[in-house]
Chain A
Amino acid sequence: MDYRIRIFDPEVLSALRLTLVWAVVALLPAYASAMVVASMSRGRGLRPLRGLAVLPGMFYAWVVLVLLRRFAPDFRFSMVAVALAWVLAGIPYLAVTFSEGIGDLDPRKREAMMSLGASRLRLWWHHDFLQTLPVQASALLQQLWYILTSFSIVMILGGGPPHETLEVAVYTSMRLDRVDPGLAAALAFWQALILISLRFAIRRLRSAPVTGFTPRHAGERTGRSPVVVWISMFAMVLLLATRQEPQEWIRPLFTSVSLAVLSATGALLLALAAYFSGWRGLAEIGAWISPMILSWICWSVSMRWNLGSLPVLVLIQSVLFSPWFARSVFPILDRKRTGEIEAARLLGAPAASAWIHVEWPRVRGPVLSVAGWVAALSVMEVSSVMWFSRGDFDTLSSWVQNLFLRFRIDEAGVGFAILGLLAYAFLWLTEKGGK
């Protein structure tokens, strides 16, 4: 194995160039479209988009594949198709985030501008656009992270290794038949450098913190969209009626739910441990490290300690998802209610009890809200399951992906509906948390 980190290796620079060029190509239309949608909706009517925002990359990959097969078959397995999937995946997420940003603005400022005679265009520019720049910046950064670490989309649409974007190149260099840690580290270095540089640049340019997406109102919107539930329920009944062996999907369903619950709990515990130990930056590691590298590290740990696949997968997802808790919960913990804690102590509460009585009720809502979101993401996640489970088990999403790969599209569609129902159930938690 070659452990020399070859930062300027031609293979590394080629993957970097490919990823960056196509990331820009994909980001611009997604950004523009999302801005239009958000400006038109003004914080309302984005329920369907909220649901689409949690769907995994493979969903968009398959939509693009089906579309291109019909309308432009020559582009099916190309970077154009990959970019198109990135655009489609980016629009719901960016639109929901921008719209929430606009919805959170003080409406009195807008009214004041209107009363002073501002035109619609000026209102949009000075109020909606300029005021939400920090939200836009952090959402774009998040979307860029998604593109830089994108794996399934490139594998399905780019044909895998022929189009070696950063994350796919990491995967290639970490495969058992070609383990090259030096090359993988160089690729991951560029990936992290870009993201961290952008984060610091944004923080410097704007005094506002880059917080990333916080699914504050997620459930509010999904909760009032029963049509999603009915469609999914119908699909489930259909599956039960037509399939002879429901245990085929019951086991993956159970695995997915267990993994989601354990990962959400693990991510929360990791984030809290990092916060209270004073190493709060550790909770963000999952946001800056290549998921493939992370998987490889965990795999090495599992080999050393003889851990089973499932605990290691929980560990991977906990590390990957702890930034969501860090970004939503840390700012609340930072605004400590010192006076109330002191009052509780003097009224007879020991330190831990005072925290539970005073701080926990404030943190509980956001924790539940993020837990639901994280669980929904975990249910949809495919790459680390495919990379890691090594055939020991299937989650529902990897099971559905396998159906797609075997071109059992109708069954895969039903599987997706069940997956959607499950994600919806977890998003319902965000509603409980938001209230």
Chain B
Amino acid sequence: MSFECRGLRVEGPGFQMTADDFDVGPGEWLEISAPSGFGKSTLLRSLMGLTPVEGQLRVSGVEMNGQPLHRRRFGVVFQDQALFAHLNALDNALFGLRIRGRVSDGDRARAEDAFRKLGLLDRIRAPVDELSGGERQRVALIRAVLFGPVLLLLDEPFKGLDAEHLRSVMDYLQSFQSESPVPVVWISHLHGTGVPGKRLVGGDRNGHRHFQLHHP
């Protein structure tokens, strides 16, 4: 699976934003970085399809612009996680599978395995409002991955994680990508996370905001 973006242009209230054309191949990572308030999350939301955008967005050659949200099959971690407050951690994680039909025993086992790997097994039935920030972040990540997405879009996925949990999350994502090498586009709130890959770096160009592609 690959992700291609051509002629991207986003219009917001009082600003416009463009980006260099880019490709993210199977298993590759693309980091979006820019100063606070520049519009990183707006750019990511436009890739998700939540903000109107001009340009071509293709996943494995299939045009995504105009596709209904629920058919895109994007795994997403939001900046504020957007966990479902009325469900517990496990039900949140299984939501993407449940909405597509019955959840099998194998799915449950995979979910439990993910919770174990991310150090959350004892919190698996906890209501989400009882989880800490870091725990919520990990549940959101499991939810984004578990249903088998074709593209991962992650808004500050490592926020609130200490070094130990950051490592476990990275291991989990790597093991997922070794099984399903999907492209990952992500926003970092840290510098020097050591995640290899291309970068889209925000800056000013002719009076409007522009994300320029940098190769590693």
Contact = CB atoms under 8 A, between A and B. Distances in A.
Interface stretch (B16-24, B31-39, B95-103, B158-166): B95-103
Interface stretch (B4-12, B73-81, B113-121, B207-215): B73-81
A339 B78 contact: yes
Q: Name the 4 nearest CB pairs between A and B, nearest first.
A: A339-B82, A347-B96, A345-B69, A343-B82
Interface stretch (A1-9, A78-86, A350-358): A350-358
Contacts of A357: 84, 95, 99
Contact of A347 (B85, B86, B95): B95
Interface of A: 337, 339-340, 342-351, 353-354, 357-358, 361-362
A40 to B, nearest CB: 35
Contacts of B86: 361-362
Given A344-B84, A347-B70, 5 more contacts: A337-B82, A339-B78, A339-B82, A346-B74, A351-B70
A345 B70 contact: yes
B136 interface: no
B70 A348 contact: yes
Interface in B147-185: 147
Contact of A348 (B50, B73, B83): B73
B82 A348 contact: no
Contacts of A353: 70, 99
A343 B99 contact: no
Q: Which of B74, B82, B100, B147 has the most CB of A within 10 A?
A: B82
A351 B96 CA distance: 14
A143 to B, nearest CB: 35
Contacts, number: 61
Given A340-B84, A358-B84, A362-B86, A348 B78 contact: no
A340 B87 CA distance: 12
Given A339-B80, A353-B99, A346 B48 contact: yes
A346 B69 contact: yes
Contacts of B99: 344, 347-349, 353, 357
Contacts of A342: 48, 50, 69, 78, 82
A96 B73 CA distance: 51
B143 interface: yes
Contacts of A350: 68, 70
B95 A346 contact: no
Contacts of A343: 76, 78, 82-84, 143
A348 B147 contact: yes
Contacts of B72: 346
A339 to B, nearest CB: 4
Q: Which of A339, A347, A351, A362 has the most CB of B within 10 A?
A: A347
A348 B96 contact: yes
Nearest to A338: B82
Contacts of B100: 348
B65 to A, nearest CB: 15
A238 B73 CA distance: 65
Contacts of A346: 48-49, 69-70, 72, 74, 76
Contacts of A345: 69-70
Contacts of B69: 342, 345-346
Contacts of B78: 339, 342-343
A339 B82 CA distance: 5
Contacts of B48: 342, 346
A348 B74 CA distance: 9
A359 to B, nearest CB: 10
Contact of B143 (A347, A354, A362): A347
A354 B95 CA distance: 11
Contact of A340 (B49, B68, B74, B82): B82
Contacts of A354: 70
Contacts of B74: 346
13 contacts: A339-B78, A339-B82, A340-B83, A340-B84, A340-B85, A342-B69, A347-B95, A347-B99, A348-B73, A350-B70, A354-B70, A361-B86, A362-B85
Contacts of B83: 340, 343
A350 B100 CA distance: 10
Contacts of B50: 342
Contact of A349 (B49, B70, B143): B70
